[in-house]
Chain A
């Protein structure tokens, strides 16, 4: 590396550090925050409901959290990619298969981008999807139950960051690989990265519950693919992906992937892909991946798939175009009209905005700079609609208010910048605390944003809350965007790293709620429909306990004839048919978790007693005045003892 270059980088880093320091010190003195007026704007009186649901990715917790807006209250944690001892998700026999992958059982992940299902480009409140970034996966959560229903693994992908962005009628979700890797995977020298490692853009069919699957994959040059957003309205049928490391470096990327003045936004015409596949231009490629979903008994089952449909741009003319975009673009966001494609270049000084109609014209006029692996690179000047100047340092993500304004986060300068579409003029800016990544306006990436609130999702919280040791909660900040000037209303802590979020008006979710599962519809093979059906059956060393719960007892509550080393399966059915009456089940020495069983549902806990004795089990979820009495005993005898199998309640 030449010394001038070194100096530039050194200077750049120093600037970043200096700016960060200024940001932090200013905040202390300014004491920016809520005023009395702001307090009344976020106050939701007892017994009243928030206006919006906010779904926040749990980041490295692998969960999804649900908050109310404007109060910021945490309403629920939905486990998705992580085992969750609170309710046994990922531990029970019914949910373990949800975490199966081609790499085996993976009980954790790094969840980044929640994405609401859409109809006509507007969130419809049916489902929310979220990605597993580490072991590439995409999950569907049903918003009538707030439970993870389905997970599909993404083959040929490594680092599922740019995912799962959705098309305007939930036709497809995408998953772009962050890390390019050998495709198919093989043992090879990392030095031979250039030209040999490949990227994969994956389109997942998403519109039918239980049938999520890889529709097709597009093999692209070995860059790092970062984020995506679907076209809408006139640009419906296209998907836009950002890429960086067009240098195809494989070591010290902070330097080696920051050399090119421009990287690319990849514009993919997925309708064209469908056509090419129909015309037989794709090939089948061997690839093992898992599809896990709940069957009609609400038990997760895994299906192993063996091949995927792969398209190469060179074989399908008009499939992919590259739009040059300054300096390592991160976010790519499409405005509500579908015309503007905003790319946040994390090292860029301006925000470039591409025009969809100019892009189509440039394609028609063949204004190509060059062609890379069969992909034409369009001329920057031919596609650019405008550049937003002075939009903060490190612009990352943009959302829209539906009133002609865009809001962009600036990571390095810790601020949100409001600018006008068309004039590209900055009209307002507000500091945030600190280091903001994504932002969320309910519906702000859709055709019809509810442009009332904006949530800043910050990476660093220093001094905003009571300190809790070296690790501090990440911060969300609620900003009022209903007027000309942005106004900070509220800080609230979040779970994990709330990487991105989605928001939707509560009226679209509330009417869908399931209050309990119909007992008569319970198709679990070990369900009991009444206490009369409860029993214990031995099959060799395996014991099945068909147990029921109801306020406030188990049936049976005394079990004898179990032996050390037996595999005991407690199949517990909650007979309640009333809202908000789950029961818990916990047994001493359980190596896995407890159960939390919803009314009308059956869940199974496996328990292997290691020593003889009489052991209690009890209900963990406070269910009524006699909750504490909701308990029972299981007698464990030495292996080979002649204590007969017996069970009873109420003798």
Chain B
């Protein structure tokens, strides 16, 4: 790896530390009755409201449609995530220190797999919350499910749900992107130098 690649990899790995500080994802809900807005953040180890009582109020609203309460303490992924991200930081730094190309590739692939798994997991949670409704719920709309979008905007009865990466998520994407670019550049460089040797 070039010195530049190693520095950039170190930056990519270290920037993930910010995921402990900034929320990763945000889901906001618009409704006529909530001009001031209501929503929640997915953080590395918990889920919080945009405002102190938003999560409670969302749970309160969800009970009309029979959706399960969102209880951050009962979501195992939130316990796992700090360790996984921590592992990425440590391994990424180790790769940058050693300068070994295979470590860079491993880091990037692992990160990519984790990111995809994370999004799939997020989708599945959304599916579960949106579909497994209490049959005794007060409001039942035939054929209606309340699965929030993984990314983007979706209308759910009187609410419009917006789901987007938050600052921590954008940092993760940038870090991952940097890893992919570095891997590609290093792969190209390796191939070129192999060529040179062969020639």
B64 touches A577 (CB 8 A): no
B64 touches A625 (CB 8 A): yes
Please tell me which one of the listed residues A577, A625, A626, A629 contacts residue B57 in the complex, with CB atoms under 8 A apart.
A577
Interface of A is mostly: loop
Please tell me which one of the listed residues B36, B52, B64, B139 contacts residue A579 in the complex, with CB atoms under 8 A apart.
B36
Nearest to A579 among chain B residues (CB) is: B36
Besides A551-B60, A576-B60, A626-B138, 15 new A-B residue pairs in contact (Cβ under 8 A), listed by A number: A516-B53, A550-B60, A576-B57, A577-B52, A577-B53, A577-B56, A577-B57, A578-B53, A578-B57, A579-B36, A624-B64, A625-B138, A625-B139, A626-B64, A629-B138
A59 CB, nearest partner CB in chain B, Å: 35
Which of B36, B57, B60, B138 has its CB near the most chain A CB atoms (within 10 A)?
B60
B95 CB, nearest partner CB in chain A, Å: 46
Could you give, for residues 16-38 of chain B, a 1 whenever the CB lies within 8 Å of some chain A CB and a 0 otherwise? Answer: 00000000000000000000100
Could you give, for residues 622-633 of chain A, a 1 whenever the CB lies within 8 Å of some chain B CB and a 0 otherwise? Answer: 001110010000
Could you give, for residues 41-61 of chain B, a 1 whenever the CB lies within 8 Å of some chain A CB and a 0 otherwise? Answer: 000000000001100110010
B72 CB, nearest partner CB in chain A, Å: 17
Q: Which chain A residues (528-571) contact chain B, with CB distance < 8 Å?
A: 550-551
Which of A576, A578, A579, A625 has its CB near the most chain B CB atoms (within 10 A)?
A578
Interface size class of B (residues with CB under 8 A): under 10
Show the binding face of A for B, using Cβ within 8 Å. Answer: 516, 550-551, 576-579, 624-626, 629
A365 CB, nearest partner CB in chain B, Å: 63
User: How many angstroms between the C-alpha atoms of A626 and B139 in the bound complex?
Assistant: 10
Q: A576 contacts which chain B residues (CB < 8 A)? A: 57, 60
User: How many angstroms between the C-alpha atoms of A625 and B138 in the bound complex?
Assistant: 10
Interface of B is mostly: loop
Q: Which chain B residues (64-94) contact chain A, with CB distance < 8 Å?
A: 64
User: How many angstroms between the C-alpha atoms of A392 and B52 in the bound complex?
Assistant: 58
User: How many angstroms between the C-alpha atoms of A117 and B56 in the bound complex?
Assistant: 37
A574 CB, nearest partner CB in chain B, Å: 12
Q: B53 contacts which chain A residues (CB < 8 A)? A: 516, 577-578
A389 CB, nearest partner CB in chain B, Å: 54
User: How many angstroms between the C-alpha atoms of A624 and B36 in the bound complex?
Assistant: 18
Could you give, for residues 133-160 of chain B, a 1 whenever the CB lies within 8 Å of some chain A CB and a 0 otherwise? Answer: 0000011000000000000000000000
Q: A551 contacts which chain B residues (CB < 8 A)? A: 60
B69 CB, nearest partner CB in chain A, Å: 13
List 17 interface pairs A-B (beta carbons < 8 Å), by A numbering. Answer: A550-B60, A551-B60, A576-B57, A577-B52, A577-B53, A577-B56, A577-B57, A578-B53, A578-B60, A579-B36, A624-B64, A625-B64, A625-B138, A625-B139, A626-B64, A626-B138, A629-B138
A601 CB, nearest partner CB in chain B, Å: 15
A231 CB, nearest partner CB in chain B, Å: 43
Q: A579 contacts which chain B residues (CB < 8 A)? A: 36
Nearest to B61 among chain A residues (CB) is: A551
User: How many angstroms between the C-alpha atoms of A539 and B77 in the bound complex?
Assistant: 49
Q: B52 contacts which chain A residues (CB < 8 A)? A: 577
User: How many angstroms between the C-alpha atoms of A312 and B12 in the bound complex?
Assistant: 81
Q: A624 contacts which chain B residues (CB < 8 A)? A: 64
Which of B36, B53, B64 has its CB near the most chain A CB atoms (within 10 A)?
B53
Which of A516, A577, A624 has its CB near the most chain B CB atoms (within 10 A)?
A577
User: How many angstroms between the C-alpha atoms of A624 and B158 in the bound complex?
Assistant: 13
Nearest to B138 among chain A residues (CB) is: A626
Nearest to A600 among chain B residues (CB) is: B53
Nearest to A516 among chain B residues (CB) is: B53
Nearest to A626 among chain B residues (CB) is: B138
User: How many angstroms between the C-alpha atoms of A576 and B56 in the bound complex?
Assistant: 9
User: How many angstroms between the C-alpha atoms of A641 and B56 in the bound complex?
Assistant: 42
Q: A629 contacts which chain B residues (CB < 8 A)? A: 138
User: How many angstroms between the C-alpha atoms of A625 and B139 in the bound complex?
Assistant: 10
B52 CB, nearest partner CB in chain A, Å: 8
Nearest to A515 among chain B residues (CB) is: B36
A239 CB, nearest partner CB in chain B, Å: 43
A74 CB, nearest partner CB in chain B, Å: 21
Q: B139 contacts which chain A residues (CB < 8 A)? A: 625
B148 CB, nearest partner CB in chain A, Å: 20
Nearest to B52 among chain A residues (CB) is: A577
Q: B64 contacts which chain A residues (CB < 8 A)? A: 624-626
B125 CB, nearest partner CB in chain A, Å: 25
User: How many angstroms between the C-alpha atoms of A362 and B5 in the bound complex?
Assistant: 89
User: How many angstroms between the C-alpha atoms of A550 and B52 in the bound complex?
Assistant: 17
B151 CB, nearest partner CB in chain A, Å: 28
User: How many angstroms between the C-alpha atoms of A576 and B61 in the bound complex?
Assistant: 11
User: How many angstroms between the C-alpha atoms of A108 and B153 in the bound complex?
Assistant: 55
User: How many angstroms between the C-alpha atoms of A90 and B46 in the bound complex?
Assistant: 45
Q: A626 contacts which chain B residues (CB < 8 A)? A: 64, 138
User: How many angstroms between the C-alpha atoms of A626 and B65 in the bound complex?
Assistant: 12
User: How many angstroms between the C-alpha atoms of A53 and B56 in the bound complex?
Assistant: 33
A463 CB, nearest partner CB in chain B, Å: 40
Nearest to B53 among chain A residues (CB) is: A577
B65 CB, nearest partner CB in chain A, Å: 11
Nearest to A599 among chain B residues (CB) is: B53
B143 CB, nearest partner CB in chain A, Å: 20
User: How many angstroms between the C-alpha atoms of A578 and B139 in the bound complex?
Assistant: 21
User: How many angstroms between the C-alpha atoms of A335 and B41 in the bound complex?
Assistant: 54
Q: A550 contacts which chain B residues (CB < 8 A)? A: 60
For the complex of A and B, list the 7 residue pairs with the smallest distance between their C-beta atoms, beginning with the closest. A577-B53, A578-B57, A626-B138, A577-B56, A551-B60, A578-B53, A550-B60
Q: B60 contacts which chain A residues (CB < 8 A)? A: 550-551, 576, 578
User: How many angstroms between the C-alpha atoms of A578 and B64 in the bound complex?
Assistant: 17
A54 CB, nearest partner CB in chain B, Å: 24
B167 CB, nearest partner CB in chain A, Å: 26
User: How many angstroms between the C-alpha atoms of A551 and B33 in the bound complex?
Assistant: 14
User: How many angstroms between the C-alpha atoms of A91 and B60 in the bound complex?
Assistant: 31
User: How many angstroms between the C-alpha atoms of A579 and B56 in the bound complex?
Assistant: 13
B158 CB, nearest partner CB in chain A, Å: 10
User: How many angstroms between the C-alpha atoms of A527 and B64 in the bound complex?
Assistant: 26
User: How many angstroms between the C-alpha atoms of A516 and B57 in the bound complex?
Assistant: 13
B56 CB, nearest partner CB in chain A, Å: 6
B34 CB, nearest partner CB in chain A, Å: 9
Q: A578 contacts which chain B residues (CB < 8 A)? A: 53, 57, 60
A104 CB, nearest partner CB in chain B, Å: 42
User: How many angstroms between the C-alpha atoms of A577 and B138 in the bound complex?
Assistant: 22
Q: A577 contacts which chain B residues (CB < 8 A)? A: 52-53, 56-57
Q: A625 contacts which chain B residues (CB < 8 A)? A: 64, 138-139
B60 CB, nearest partner CB in chain A, Å: 6
User: How many angstroms between the C-alpha atoms of A550 and B59 in the bound complex?
Assistant: 12
User: How many angstroms between the C-alpha atoms of A551 and B61 in the bound complex?
Assistant: 8
B176 CB, nearest partner CB in chain A, Å: 37
User: How many angstroms between the C-alpha atoms of A523 and B60 in the bound complex?
Assistant: 24
Nearest to B49 among chain A residues (CB) is: A577
Q: Which chain B residues (159-177) contact chain A, with CB distance < 8 Å?
A: none
User: How many angstroms between the C-alpha atoms of A577 and B139 in the bound complex?
Assistant: 22
User: How many angstroms between the C-alpha atoms of A186 and B36 in the bound complex?
Assistant: 60
B73 CB, nearest partner CB in chain A, Å: 16
A576 CB, nearest partner CB in chain B, Å: 8
A515 CB, nearest partner CB in chain B, Å: 8
Q: B57 contacts which chain A residues (CB < 8 A)? A: 576-578
A566 CB, nearest partner CB in chain B, Å: 33
User: How many angstroms between the C-alpha atoms of A551 and B57 in the bound complex?
Assistant: 10
User: How many angstroms between the C-alpha atoms of A629 and B139 in the bound complex?
Assistant: 13
User: How many angstroms between the C-alpha atoms of A626 and B60 in the bound complex?
Assistant: 13
